[in-house]
Amino acid sequence: MAGLARTKEKRIKRIQENVLARSERRLLDWLCARMPGWVVPDMLTAVGMLGALVVFAGYVCSNLGDGWLWASILGYVVQWFGDSMDGSLARFRRIERPRYGYFLDHSCDGLATTLVVVGIGLSHYVLLEVAFIALAGYLLLSIHAFLLVRVLGEMKLSYAFAGPTELRLVLIALTLAMIFAGSQPVLFDTLTWFDLIVGSIGALLIVFFIGQTVITARRLALEEPARRPER
């Protein structure tokens, strides 16, 4: 009984408050129930990474023609499917491997996001320097989420009612705008509207990181008040 209690104490609490969470969960459960038995979570993780590579390739090849951006949009859909379904299928079938799954999933998330953002920066729509601001913001929030798991036992999957799915939809909308609006500079004869949007998203992510850091530090300070040194 004591061993079971310790196992329950170590279980991570998932906090997901994004707008599409409930409807997305119903869709994922529906897909899990119909997934063939030969499909395993690791296979879906690989599908997610393939989707990220397609997104990257579409943005890079858009330098040859805007039509390649449709490949990036398809890649976002494939990446959502693989990234969202791997853990969902494991939990649905009750075959979770908590440490392995946590490590592999978040390692792949970091690599996939790097591919997507760098791909955007290698297109002719967004400067690479601007894309790096967005990447820094994402990585900072990821660090915050990993620290929460360690200090609070909570895995925060959304900020300001937005999570990875909402962010993908924003990026798909941005990619559609690239196709139909072009990339004319609007500021300093260098920055496009897409530079301003991507840079603003990156700045917002950094602000969220700072705000969440302050909130969490205050919470921990209350739970662990300062102690006077023993004499």
Q: Which residue segments constitute the domains of the chain, with CATH numbers given?
A: 13-223 (1.20.120.1760)
3-state secondary structure of 199: helix
Q: What amino acid is encoded at 140 in this protein?
A: L
Residue 122 and residue 59 in contact, taking contact as beta carbons nearer than 8 Å: yes
Closest by CA to 216, choosing from 162, 139, 145, is 145
pLDDT, one tens digit for every residue, the chain (231 residues):
334 334 344 566 766 666 777 888 899 999 999 999 999 999 999 999 999 999 999 999 999 999 999 999 999 999 999 999 998 999 999 998 988 988 999 899 999 999 999 999 999 899 999 999 999 999 998 898 888 888 887 776 666 666 788 889 989 999 999 888 877 766 666 788 888 989 998 999 999 899 989 999 998 888 888 777 776
Which pLDDT score is estimated for 59? 96
Q: Which of 88, 57, 68, 62 is nearest to 164 (CA)?
A: 88
The whole-number pLDDT of residue 20 equals 78
